Structure 1
Amino acid sequence: MVLTSYGQDRTSNYRSKKMVVSDTIVIDTVSINPSRFSILDKNGKSIDSTDYQVDLRRALLFIPENIRRENDSITINYLRYPDYLTRDYYLLDPKIIVENTGSLDKLYALETSTNDANNSPFDGLNALGGINRGVTVGNNQNAWVNRELDLQITGQLSEKISIRASIQDANIPTQAGGYSQSLDEFDQIFIELYGKDWNIRAGDVDLQNNNSYFGRFTKKVQGIALGGTFEHNDGSKTTAFVAGALVRGVFQRSQFNGQEGNQGPYKLIGPNGELFILIVSGSERVYVNGLLLNRGENEHYVIDYNAGEIKFNPTYPITANMRITVEYQFTDRNYTRFIGYGGGNYTSDKLDVGAYVYSESDAKNQPLQQNLTEEQVAILAAAGDDMDLMVAPSAVPDTFSENKILYKKEDFNGMEIFVFSNDPGDELFNVRFSLVGDNMGNYVISEESTINRIFEFVPPVGLILQGNYEPIIRLNAPEKLQIGGVNGSYHPSEKTRIDFEVAGSVNDLNLFSVIDNDDNEGFGGRFAARQAVLRSADTLKLDAFASLDYINKDFRTIERLYNVEFNRDWNLDLPMGDQRFVTTGAEISHPKYGGGKYEFQNLDFSENFNGTRHIISSRVQFSKLNMFDNASFRNSDSDILRSNFSSVNSGAVYGINKAWLGAKFNLEDNQLKTIANDSLTPLSQKFSAYELFTGIGDSTKVYAEVGYRYRVTDSVRNMMLKKVNTSNDYYLKSRLLNNKNTQLSLFVNYRVLK
């Protein structure tokens, strides 16, 4: 169903259409020329032709599930055959030829109707969709019901205004509570009006900023977004956008190591260690050893958004050597939180300039889960940014009831304590106890009661507390984060490009308090340049590049700035001070033989860290042989540690007709030593891994591959790196059947750990 057609000469046969995503799309009413056919995703990036199927004769496009899951719309560029080739030609129009019945006594008359047509404003709209339900059972799991909802409305309200609306909910299977009860629990619900150079969208909005370095983010919100484009006579154009919404989730990151042979579920937690959180659907990004994984039953993992749990598929075995990082948005119901985002960009042949403003703030007078008293507001006002001070007594007077667990006050060596009581004559209190950590409290759960959870006081031993609970409640302070910046790119020629950006941030961790506000404001700047050094006749390219990041210690970004394993790559623990990050290097490439890159990096924190890193990477091809290599060597010094980190990841694959043979090698040697005594710390580790594999077939259709992995892991023993275990992995992965109606895959993995 066509959503819009960008401005082009209708006499031309080239078309560009933005269409809503479904499993089968009718592109046009005539056949399509195979030349100049391409598909772009919702971000404007080209989709590889191997990821979809197209019937050019019937002008039908078949979209697989993974593309539908990631995009609500796509743009199709194609060349239709001209009308004179596809039109039917007749000497006489068959529509006006009367059937020869042999009877001449019938009279026919043509009359023009005088009745006015009842035109409806919704005549141009089309609705489609459906609800799929399924049941999953197994010999090692409970039965569950899963279902998928997909309803869409598309069409034109007028010649210049089009509409698109959608309700989607791909519910992740769960035994309880796994259904949407209200509109805000659907995966996606929105309505959008748009024209040639403007659009308005309300409902679920995916806010993104991919044009900025410091302000880069992705947010799923509920609100309204407007955008427009203005084209100028000189060929340049200006775009402007603004959005306002309620925040569906707050950004959070969980990091943990995999457990040997345990595919999950692994629990995702909140910022204060909350074990039961709701994840915003589709907001997660999962990394294992720095590599981004894909969600799906036929991919790497599945996730239960209601329970906040992630489970890895059997085709992706989890080991103790895997570093797992999950970034996600979880529903934070402490305060009503608003988000505002706006900006604009100017684009011309040689200069691109943009500006943006982002604000995310809690409404401190609209708490959702806690009704703050004046005393509690005063506690927050006096706490500043110290979360340890954001606690308040939880005891409130209450009346006796057999169905309540109540406490009375007693004196213990001058300290007021709470003791369980069921005596109506006592002055009773309803008390909430919070977990504060081992040996951090004075109360424990009583072992005498097996039905109710009753807390009892445990006297300290000396100065050491013996409990892990306290009669307090934690108060959540309203927060605010604002970021604004200006960025640009100047490219005076095809060989030169200069990028820049400056940004400032305001991050207030407690809107009730003016204490500790001296560290709320920070700024950052970036300058980068790239210069083409060599361009040969056979398209050999040699480029030089350099960049400088300067980040004030109080500057804050919306999401992480660097790659997910940046801290591990540099062995950063608690860096302090202003940051300076310098990068320089050169890159060579050839369209036939591949290329390589050398990069030098220097990272400095003004108070306690300085390090250098050399990175060498290449990917080359010679006839049937493909090779790749990624190596890095780093040295760094902090105020207490000195470290050396070397890593190598290389491999080669040789193709023979429809078969292939390959090998991989992976090495990491990370040694951290204390400056005081020059001894290895427990964080030091080393491993080397080898892999051999061979296969036959077409990896995109039917194939089979077998392989073997061997790994040796070293860890610190007696102040030295020594071998602690070895592993042997044997695997088989294959796709035995792959056609329109049937798919059959087989994966086998056998692992021996010594």
Structure 2
Amino acid sequence: MKDFEVVSDTITIDSISISPYNFKVLDSAKQLIDSTLYSVNFAKAQLYINKPKFKRITVQYTALPEFLTKTYYKFDESLIVPQATDLSRLYSVQKSTINKNFLPFDGLQTSGSILRGFTVGNNQNAVVNSNFDLQISGNISKDVQVRASITDSNVPLQENGFSQRLDEFDRVFIELFSKNWKISAGDINLFNTTNQFLRFNKKVAGVQIDVMTESEENDTHFFASGALVRGQFARNSFTGEEGNQGPYKITGTNTEEFTLLISGSETVYVNGAPLTRGENNDYIIDYNTAEITFMPTFPITGNMRVVVEYQYADRNYTRFVTYNGAEYKNDKLKLGVAFYNENDVKNQPLQQDLTTSQKEILSQAGDNAALMVAPSAYNAAFEENKILYKKELIGNEEVYVFSSNPDDELFRVTFTYVGEGQGNYVIQTTIASGRISEYVAPVSDIKQGAYEPIVQLTPPNRLMIGVLNADYTPTEKTAISSELAYSSNDVNLFSSIDDTDNEGFAGKFKWNQILVDRNWKFATGVNYELIHKNFRTIERYRNVEFSRDWDLLNTEGNQSYLSTNLSLSNTTKGIVSYVFENLNYSENFNGIRHNLLTNLKLNRTKINVNSSLLSNNTNAYKTDFFRWYSHGKHHFSKSWIGAELNAESNKRYDKSTSELEDISHKLVEYEAFFGVGDTAKVYAEFGFNYQVTDSVQVQRLQKVNAAKTYFMRSKLIQNEASNLSLFVNYRTIDHTNFDDEESLNSRLLYRQQFFNNGVSLQTAYETNSGVLPQQEFNYVEVDAGLGYFTWNDYNNNGIQELDEFEVAQFQDEANYVRVLLPTINYIKTNQNKFSQSFTLNATGWSDKKGFKKFLSHFVNQSFIVIDGKVKRENSSFNLNPFAVNDALALNQSFKNSLFFNRGKQFFSTTYTFINTDNKNAYSINNQNNKLKSHQLLFNHRIKQWWLLDVKTSFSENKSTSDVFTSRNYTIQSKEFNPKISYLYSTNSRFEMLYHLKDKKNIIGDEEALFINTLGVNFIHTTGKNFSVNSSLNLVFNKFTGETNSAVGYQLLEGLRPGTNYTWNVSFQKRINSYLDVTFNYLGRKSESVKAIHTGSLQLRASF
């Protein structure tokens, strides 16, 4: 049944034929219309109205099935054409749409690979291996482009650091964008640099959407985002130490020892200036141990204020963040609004599993972190290799005592560092699975330890900020801006106590006016800010040294800030400006600051001045703080000369006594320098710096030290064949009350090539002073095959001890990794680094005759690296890199290789000498390893089918340990290893080898091993599409000594005395242009030990 409007005499009822049975036509009142008033063509489903007097009708009908009304043809009538000369309708030519070879991401620019595999064995659990690295860019449609970078790995590694959670180091970033919109998903950065009260930069995992609309008159931008937070903002400040380049420990927000920094999130400031990371720049940072080290070219002094702002991994709760807003702008007006919300889900804790009693503690603590402390002990079942404690009564005190007795009532206890003399426990010893703590009774009610069996609870929190800003530019000479902000900060969502201080407001108004706009521009401006005492921001919104600039100690109360400025500027000659500032905290601070800033360029002379005068007044003290910095530099045609003056005087008086406070100080610093050359090419600059520091002595500012610094910066040679640069900074400090100090920082880089690269050398040398951390570590078990170490219970006591871990010889045994523990113990050192490479290459004389022709067969390469740290005694220097006998830490290696007919397989001979010396200073042990080796390699092709390889060597491996005497050994080895290869085609070879090795420990129990190895290898490759590599070895070990020992493991190399078998089969097949499959199977069998089988299968797709 259908309704129709009658607008013509012909109505099409349906697209298919209809049945004449049960056909009716009704008027608008649903009354039957006489059939004489219309006619019907049922085949075409059309109704003809004889007298169109009806405005609306209803037709009731039944449609016939399509198969009854369809027209059937033996041939397609549309292909029949009239007989004519135009035959274009008879055929058409098209490209085939069949895609014979499917290519993923066809049409996009892609690079990378995806790998999936698994490893199984009868000596390990199944392990899944995965690695994914993909970059995509290009158009996915006419108007839409894509950018993507996806990295995924099951190995928790990070640049210069490690992972707390695996997904922190899997990277996914996908961005779709067009002219007016953009969608970003995965690991993204949320940031705001526009609003003063909402400045932040966060690494998150989520989605961000941007929509832009543009017209000739105005632009509009909408954005919305939601994500899981990866890091929290933190700030760590410390003062540099004279002659200490680091490492400096970066402590957490609550001065905790362990902080997990997110890679690349840090910004480092020294005296308010940002630094650049990198060995050739200012500093490097170890994210593993949260330590920062400054380069020798950036000397650290005792007057340097260091600030490290960073993000750290916060996994206490699931944390969400939303950031949304909009922006409108035209030629004169700009409006913006933004909302930020970051909150923890208090019922989804991650690192801490809060008990009911702990939640109760948090609910009663309010905002007071000192009350958020709970006992850390809880009942635990006995487990081997776990550190557990029992309770004992010592005197009247119930304390925790380490226990490995399964019959005791055991507890797992976390000991928190609370400061020296603030706790009752000390670290007794360190074993492979962690630290064991011990109770020490107080002496005369004075605590003797630094640890307590407590845990600092972390409450869930929430921060919301809303910002509204407006910028108005009525004329080219006038600019007005304003900003309003609201914040709500609840630091403990479990408690309603102290919630009255959660909310705060902030406002800002700024006006700039150009009064004269001629050759010299005269301008003025006013800036006013009002900030409620409870207003909170995400990150710092003032300059990094704001508190020092105003000599602030206490910032309680509502804050008001007023600044006015006058400036005179010229586009080519610079600017001179005066700024008046007033800062007030309603409860206890009022300060006035005058600033004069100059930056002028007058012909070849540059002048910089930055000075300020502060007077402040608080309830407790008043301060007069004067600062002056000036820098002048004049350029001649090929040289320059300059001077600096840096002075400050801070006098803080106690208002109750009118006496100078100890923080008062005075500093005067002079510097003069001159240079020649071009700093972009070849130059040298020399300078002298003199600095005098005064501090409060007997209520007066008196000199406490004077420092002299001599420095040189240079790039003396720079061309294609040679480079030479030198940096030297020598500093002496004359102290009034204690011993004088000296420090030397230097770096020399030299590269030289002679005789058409026949002789080349490269030298790097640097010296500096720093500290050496007394590192501790333990071992953590991981999936088999993903670690580096194996555990051998040498004393059969079932306890994992530090001297029982070895570098695994076989993949299935590698199920432990070494994890460094935080330390607070450092030793002052002088560090010396030296590296040298020297190459003699006479192959350029190959076309000569006589003696030169003979020499053209030889190449000699030498490498030496020395990195040593010796204990710093007074002001001594360690300028000799080879004086390493007293080194606390050392990494020294020397390698010399003499080649004859290198790479030619014609009496090719190589003699290599290696000498290494490595020394590590740990908190409980000093470990020293030395290796000396002589190797002779001979390679010769006999006619076309045979290749002879012979390797002989003599080596001595010496290990010494202060504490672990079982690791003291000196192993001498002699080896003879001939191998004959039959090359029956360019793609296949068959090898037979014999390996004779004689190893003996010449100290202690004089363990000895005599090895005879017979082996065969088969290698076959078919271009790039297929390869197979297989080997079978029969190893006869004649061993004398204790097998279950560190020396035995080193000698036997993971095998057993007697007859051993090892085998390996590897297949690699390229399935198509982007897909490869690899299969590896290896095994070993020793007497009285079951056969060990390990197999792995990997599939790699390349894009």
The one-character-per-residue Cα deviations of 1:299-322 (angstroms, maximum 9, x if unpaired) are: 111122232121111111111111
Kindly tell me: are residues 421 and 172 of structure 1, through their superposed partners in 2, closer, same or farther at Cα, counting changes over 3 Å? Answer: closer
Of all paired residues, the percent bearing the same amino acid is 45
- Deviation of 1:127 after TM superposition, in Å, equals 2.7
TM-score by length of 2: 0.53
Shift of the 694–712 alpha-carbon distance from structure 1 to 2, 3 Å rule, reads same
Measured against aligned partners, the alpha-carbon deviations of 1:676-715 in whole angstroms (never above 9, x if no partner) come to: 1111111111111111111122223332211111111111
Matched, 1:552 2:532: yes
CA contact (8 A) 1:173 1:304 kept: no
1:660 aligns with 2:640: yes
Aligned to 1:380: 362
Question: Corresponding residue for 1:341?
Answer: 323
Unmatched 5+ residue regions in structure 2? 1-90, 114-131, 735-1103
8 A contact 1:405–1:454 mirrored in 2: no
Closer, same or farther: CA 448–572 of 1 in aligned 2, 3 Å: closer
Aligned mates of 2:158, 2:718 — CA distance in 1: 30
Partner residue in 2 for 1:231: 214
Q: Sort the Cα spacing of 1:616 and 1:226 in 2 relative to 1 into closer, same or farther, 3 A.
A: same
Question: Matched residue of 2:198: which SS?
Answer: coil
Q: 3-state DSSP class of the match of 1:260?
A: coil
Partner of 2:659: 679
Paired with 1:315 and 1:686, the residues of 2 have a C-alpha distance of: 27
1:201 is matched with which residue?
Answer: 184
Residue 114 and residue 181 in structure 1: after superposition, are their counterparts in 2 closer, same or farther (change >3 A)? Answer: farther
Give the distance between the partners of 1:185 and 1:497, measured in 2 at CA: 45
**Residue in 1 aligned with 2:733?**
753
Q: CA deviation at 1:126?
A: 1.3
Counterpart amino acid of 2:656? A
CA distance in 1, matches of 2:393, 2:188: 55
Q: What amino acid does structure 1 have at the position aligned with 2:636?
A: I
2:275 pairs with 1:293: yes
* 1:200-256 superposed Cα distances (whole Å, 9 cap, x missing partner): 111221211111011111112121111010124x51011011111111111011101
Q: Is the 8 A contact 1:629 1:648 kept in 2?
A: yes
1:573-623 Cα shifts (integer Å, max 9, x gaps) = 122110011101111101232221100000000001111000000111222
- Select 1:277's aligned residue among 259, 281, 288: 259
Give the direction of change, closer, same or farther, for the CA distance of 1:737–1:161 in structure 2 (3 Å limit).
farther
Structure 2 counterpart of 1:715, one-letter code: S
Matching of residue 589 in structure 1 with residue 573 in structure 2 = no
Tell me by how many angstroms 1:153 deviates.
2.4
Which residue number corresponds to residue 145 of structure 2? 162
Could you state the TM-score of these two structures normalised by the residue count of structure 1? Answer: 0.77
Once the two structures are superposed, the pairs formed by residues 177-326 of structure 1 within 5 Å of their partners are 182=166, 184-185=168-169, 189-232=172-215, 235-326=217-308
User: If each structure's strand is expressed as a fraction of its own residues, which one has the higher value?
Assistant: 2
Higher mean displacement: 503-512 or 113-122: 113-122
User: How far is the alpha carbon of 1:411 from its aligned partner?
Assistant: 8.0
**d(CA) in 2 for partners of 1:533 and 1:741?**
58
CA contact (8 A) 1:523 1:554 kept: yes
Which residue number corresponds to residue 375 of structure 2? 393
Instruction: Select the residue among 516, 535, 541 that pairs with 1:561.
Output: 541
Output one character per residue of 1:368-409: Cα deviation in whole Å (capped at 9) or x when no partner.
Answer: 111111121111111111111112222323456775542225
8 Å Cα contact 1:174/1:304 also seen in 2: no
1:520 aligned onto 2:502? yes
Say if 1:281 and 1:174 are closer, same or farther in 2 by CA, change over 3 A.
closer
2:598 paired with 1:614: no
Q: Take 1:313 and 1:452, find their aligned partners in 2: how far apart are those partners?
A: 33
Secondary structure of the residue that 1:576 maps to in structure 2? Answer: coil
Alpha-carbon distance change, 213 to 364 in structure 1, aligned in 2, over 3 angstroms: same
CA gap 1:198/1:737 in 2 versus in 1, 3 angstroms: farther
Corresponding residue of 1:717 = 697
Cα 1:167–1:317 shift into 2, 3 Å: farther
Per-residue deviation, residues 444-478 of structure 1 (Å, max 9, x unmatched): 4559999972422525735x555443332221111
Instruction: Give me the whole-angstrom Cα distance separating, in 1, the residues matched to 2:492 and 2:676.
Output: 61
1:7-57, CA deviations, whole angstroms, 9 ceiling, x for partnerless residues? xxxxxxxxxxxxxxxxxxxxxxxxxxxxxxxxxxxxxxxxxxxxxxxxxxx
Residues 610-667 of structure 1, C-alpha deviation per residue, up to 9 Å, x if partnerless? 1100000011122211111111000011111111111111011111113111111110
- Equivalence for 1:358: 340
Which amino acid letter does the alignment assign opposite residue 238 of structure 2? F
Change in 2 beyond 3 A, CA 1:410/1:615: same
Alignment check: 8 A CA contact 1:250 1:332 kept: yes
Evaluate the alpha carbon distance shift between residue 333 and residue 121 of structure 1 in structure 2; reply closer, same or farther with a 3 A threshold.
closer
Indicate if the aligned counterparts of 1:418 and 1:457 stay in contact, CA closer than 8 A. Answer: no
**Distance of aligned partners of 1:484 and 1:729 in 2 relative to their CA distance in 1, 3 Å threshold:** same
Partner AA of 1:735 in structure 2: K
CA contact (8 A) 1:688 1:712 kept: yes
Judging changes above 3 Å, is the alpha-carbon distance between structure 1 residues 481 and 320 closer, same or farther for their aligned structure 2 residues? Answer: same
Which of structures 1 and 2 has the bigger CA Rg?
2
Asked if the contact 2:391–2:398 (Cα under 8 Å) also holds between the matched residues in 1, the reply is: no
**Residue 479, structure 1, aligned to residue 461, structure 2:** yes
Would the aligned equivalents of 1:420 and 1:456 in 2 still touch at CA under 8 Å?
no
Q: How has the CA–CA distance of structure 1 residues 307 and 422 changed in structure 2, closer, same or farther, with 3 Å as cutoff?
A: closer
Q: In the alignment, what sits opposite 2:489? A: 507
Change (3 A) 1:564 1:150: farther
For residue 136 of structure 1, what is the aligned residue in structure 2? none
Q: Matches of 2:333 and 2:711 in 1, distance apart?
A: 52
CA shift, 1:732, in A, is 1.4
Paired with 2:148 and 2:160, the residues of 1 have a C-alpha distance of 30
In 2: Cα distance, 1:647 partner to 1:737 partner = 40
Deviations 1:311-337 (A, max 9, x none): 111111111111100100011121121
- Alpha carbons 1:613, 1:633 under 8 Å: kept: yes
Pairwise CA distance, 1:128: 4.7
Deviates more, 1:426-435 or 1:219-228: 426-435
Amino acid corresponding to residue 108 of structure 2 in structure 1 = L
Contact 1:693 1:708 in 2 (8 A): yes
Give the 3-state SS of the residue equivalent to 1:302 in structure 2: strand
- Alpha-carbon distance in structure 1 between the residues aligned to 2:540 and 2:715: 38
State the match for 2:552 in structure 1. 572
Shift of 1:422: 6.5
3-state SS in 2 of match to 1:214: helix
Q: Distance in 2 between matches of 1:307 and 1:291?
A: 25
Contact 1:734 1:747 in 2 (8 A): yes
